[in-house]
Amino acid sequence: MIFNVKSKNTYLPILNFLMQQGFIPRQDIKRINHVIATEEVEVEDLLFEYISRDKLLLAKALFHNDKFGSIDLLEVEDQIDYESLGLISREEMLDSRSMIIYKTDGYLAVAMDDPTNKEIVKYIEKTTETRIRERFVTLFSDIREIISQDRLMSRYMFDQGILPPEDYKKIKSLFGSKITELEEVLLRYVSREVLLQIKAVINSGRYDNIDLFEIRDGLKEESVGLLSKEQMLEHRVMVLYENEGELAIAMDDPSDNSIVRFVERTTGCKVKNRYVTLYNDIGIIIQYMSDRIRKKEEASRKEQKAGESQEELSPESVEEEAGTVFEEPPQYDVLDLSTFTLGGDASAGGVRPLIETIIKQALVRSASDIHIEPTRDKFMKVRYRIDGILTQDYVIDDLLAGIKERDIHDKVVSIVKVLSGESGKNMRLDVSNKPQDGRIYIRSVNLDLRIAILPSVLGESVVIRVLQRESRDLSLDKLGFEKKTYQRFKSIIEMPYGMILISGPTGSGKSTTQYAAIKLLNSPGKKILTAEDPVEYSISGATQVQINPAADFTFDIALRAFVRNDPDIIMVGEIRDVVTASMAMESALTGHMVLTSIHANDAVSTLFRLKDMGVDPRLITATCIGTMGQRLVRRNCSHCGVPFAFSSKLHEEMEQHGVPFDPKNLLKGTGCPKCYYTGYHGRIGVFELLAMTYDVRELFLQEASADRILEKAREDQNMRTLLEDALAKVAEGITTEEEVWRVILLERAKKIVREQEIGSTN
């Protein structure tokens, strides 16, 4: 860049003005000057410890005698012309501490940290070939926030139609809050590859993107080790390689020159190339490199021991050796396939053992789904969905890296189709341009694999849903219920008849809760019938029916048959249409207990979802005895969870919602071999329960709003919302702040509005 504006150069003249005008006391100005003189600091961030942002913006305007006028960028964000904003790059905006607000009639309006800086004015005019007509004084922190990657990526995805308008509005509430990594949220809408491309686009295409997973085996420990783990995570940067004093680095934000300067100052090398990458990948690869170093050290120790004489070690040496042994986690062991086989002919060029290994690793890591995807080079990529998050696996990646057959993916798909046929559900080998569904059942371990094959431009994509049929671990009291919610839910499901609906999006644990409830109710004196698609768990003593729409055997047809088979309890996997809903309610009316699920946001909106389907509200209130909304959040790893200082925003939310907490009990997993360096292991439910009381029934029939019904339920039932239950689990050290906002994100804005309305009525 042709300029490098220092924050102290901008603010030193203003400090005396702040003192003279009484904005900041003299003694505080002395402290500020001392910090500026002794530390590398952004002065504006330092000033926020002594003065609010509103007052600082006012003071800057007064300092310039209102010559330029001031502008609060966060208040006028919706009026910013993003097309004009992109006339200069993010790197130029950050270095010049300026940004273009809009362009009109051939002139620019610009917001500047220092509107008197003529050098920057000339640079912007020369770069854009447009004159600046209006200059506004603003805060540099606001410029950083408006042009942050989070905001620009979200805006780009919204403009491209990737983010629905309602989701974009809710995501905006997280901007600048630091309560979660927005990157994780955006990955719910696009793949890692697409998000990498988007990050490159919003940085004006100046930097190539790089997938750290693809190059990890080529990274050298000595290059990566030029920065400490703490420095890499704090500054979101990693050294890729060093050559004769020149570096290539991967950065979460490649436009941030302050980080480049930090790397150069710390390493004593010059940064030649910089690449954009995903922040989460940096943390994962750091742990991967650490693990690789440990493996080498372990191998070296073993070699050294093998070469040593068989002399008996002294007690001191034994103690030293014992303290340095690295405990290798089971999931990194070489997988023993001798006790696990898919059966059939295993001579298909080594492909069947490869598939066995992929499935075995899914079991080792408790994955719910296996994604086998084609790549442009005719090889393949394997990913697992673990605890709701799609991730790659080092063991499988290393295995695939050693395979040289370019058509390996096609062979794997063919064997999967053959195996599906061996299990009784044929998939056509000669069809590759249509979706196909299949099933592989492994009797020896009672494992059910549901196969979905989808044609794509690169080849057929395979998704394998892993269903472990045994339900021995399904216990209602271990799902994560708060004590009072558990007792209320248990009392509802133990009623002699009625309908209970469990709501939530796909993957929120609805089926698990249904099975756990059925297991609790199961007894020799009860006839239990279930209609499922698919049958995920085996329940001893229950008659489970597999729905088959292709054979015209649907949920409503199954329900008609059920009522003629004298059941006490009926479980319907999911209500998808008004016919099934009406049949389920009629079953409840005739003296049966019906347990089912439905796609709805929360407990209250479940009632309105049924109404929108076309079900008579009187039938809903006559049969429904309770609705429950739920989600799943990842648990902190019990091996590496440590006390962690979450944001002040979390504390505010807890206080607002009346959730007691001790900061010492707030934990976060740091990452260890046991959890594959994710910091999480397993998931736990988050619940809200609405009982159909007389008052709730009357409000619903009177067409009261969902907010009014929620208000009444909170008054009479002391109902705990999804957000409150999630916050309580953070307070107990079970999960993290990031998980709460990742999972509850799309409901958060609505919940806050409801809480505000309830507060105003009280």
Output the pLDDT for position 226: 93
CB 98 within 8 A of CB 111: yes
pTM: 0.58
Output the pLDDT for position 4: 53
% of the chain residues with pLDDT over 90 = 35
Which residue's entry shows tokens 């505000």? 756
Q: What is the pLDDT of residues 643-660, one digit of tens each?
A: 887 877 788 888 888 899
Q: What is the pLDDT of residues 629-640, one digit of tens each?
A: 999 999 999 888
Burial 511-527 (b: 16+ CB within 10 A, else e): bbbbbbbbbbbbeeeee
CATH 3.30.300.160 assigned to domain 191-305? The reply is yes
- Taking alpha carbons only, the member of 473, 569, 589 closest to residue 523 is 569
How far is the C-alpha of 555 from the C-alpha of 572, rounded, in Å?
7
CATH architecture under which domain 7-140 falls: 2-Layer Sandwich (3.30)
Output the pLDDT for position 431: 83
Mean pLDDT of 504-517: 90
pLDDT higher than threshold 70 for residue 761: no
- Taking alpha carbons only, the member of 610, 635, 603 closest to residue 721 is 603
Mean pLDDT of 176-199: 76
pLDDT higher than threshold 90 for residue 712: yes
User: Which pLDDT band, with edges at 50, 70 and 90, does 693 fall under?
Assistant: very high
- The highest-confidence range among 90-104, 177-191, 415-429, by mean pLDDT, is 90-104
What order of strands is seen across the sheet that includes strand 131-137?
98-104, 107-112, 131-137
DSSP letter for each residue of 335-369 = P--TT----S---STTHHHHHHHHHHHHHHTT-SE
Which segments within 523-599 are labelled E, that is strand?
A: 528-532, 543-546, 569-572, 593-598
The CATH label, of 3.30.450.90, 3.50.50.60, 3.40.50.300, 3.20.20.80, for the domain at 351-468 is 3.30.450.90
User: Which pLDDT band, with edges at 50, 70 and 90, does 110 fall under?
Assistant: very high
Output the pLDDT for position 35: 86
What's the half-sphere exposure (Cβ side, CA atoms, 13 Å) at 269? 19
Average pLDDT, the chain: 83
- Taking alpha carbons only, the member of 488, 490, 413, 493 closest to residue 455 is 413
Mean pLDDT of 112-122: 91
Q: What is the pLDDT of residues 364-378, one digit of tens each?
A: 888 999 999 998 776
| Residues paired with 302 in a beta bridge | none
Output the pLDDT for position 632: 93
Amino acid at 739: E
How far is the C-alpha of 621 from the C-alpha of 598, rounded, in Å?
16
**Region of poorest pLDDT, from 28-32, 526-530, 723-727:** 28-32
Q: What is the pLDDT of residues 195-221, one digit of tens each?
A: 888 998 888 888 888 888 888 878 888
List, in sequence order, the alpha helices (H) in 65-191.
82-85, 90-96, 118-128, 140-146, 149-159, 165-172, 182-186
Output the pLDDT for position 12: 75
Residue 606, SS3 per DSSP: helix
What order of strands is seen across the sheet that includes strand 569-572?
543-546, 528-532, 569-572, 593-598, 498-503, 624-636, 680-691
How far is the C-alpha of 420 from the C-alpha of 422, rounded, in Å?
5
Do 7-140 and 191-305 fold alike per CATH? Answer: yes
CB 381 within 8 A of CB 401: no
Amino acid at 655: E
**Region of poorest pLDDT, from 444-448, 503-507, 526-530, 607-611:** 444-448
CB 94 within 8 A of CB 86: no
Burial 474-502 (b: 16+ CB within 10 A, else e): bebeebbbbeebbebbeebbeeebbbbbb
CB 412 within 8 A of CB 419: no
What's the half-sphere exposure (Cβ side, CA atoms, 13 Å) at 235? 23
534 upstream amide cis, omega within 30 of 0: yes
Mean pLDDT of 579-606: 92
Output the pLDDT for position 289: 84
pLDDT higher than threshold 60 for residue 748: no
CB 409 within 8 A of CB 374: yes
Output the pLDDT for position 425: 60
Residue 700, SS3 per DSSP: helix
Mean pLDDT of 687-703: 94
Q: What is the pLDDT of residues 223-256, one digit of tens each?
A: 999 999 889 988 999 999 898 899 999 999 999 9
Mean pLDDT of 711-723: 92
pLDDT higher at 443 or 730: 730
User: Which pLDDT band, with edges at 50, 70 and 90, does 325 fall under?
Assistant: very low
pLDDT higher at 397 or 487: 487
Can you say how many angstroms the Cα of residue 527 is from the centroid of all Cα atoms in its chain?
A: 41
Output the pLDDT for position 470: 56
The pairs formed by 160-168 with CB atoms below 8 angstroms and a separation of 24 or more are 162/189, 162/190, 163/189, 167/746
pLDDT higher than threshold 60 for residue 345: no
How far is the C-alpha of 242 from the C-alpha of 215, rounded, in Å?
15
CATH 3.80.10.10 assigned to domain 476-761? The reply is no
Question: What H or E segment, with its residue span, contains residue 549?
Answer: none
Contacts of 153 (CB under 8 A, 6+ apart): 182, 186, 195, 198, 199, 202
**Region of poorest pLDDT, from 283-292, 298-307, 312-321, 594-603:** 312-321
Output the pLDDT for position 675: 82
What does the domain layout of the chain look like in residue ranges?
A: 7-140, 148-184, 191-305, 351-468, 476-761
What order of strands is seen across the sheet that includes strand 246-251?
237-243, 246-251, 270-276
pLDDT higher than threshold 60 for residue 448: yes
pLDDT higher than threshold 70 for residue 592: yes
Output the pLDDT for position 1: 47
User: Which pLDDT band, with edges at 50, 70 and 90, does 665 fall under?
Assistant: confident
How far is the C-alpha of 233 from the C-alpha of 653, rounded, in Å?
27
DSSP letter for each residue of 406-460 = TTHHHHHHHHHHHHHHHTT----TT--SS-EEEEEEEGGGTEEEEEEEEEETTEE
Amino acid at 237: V
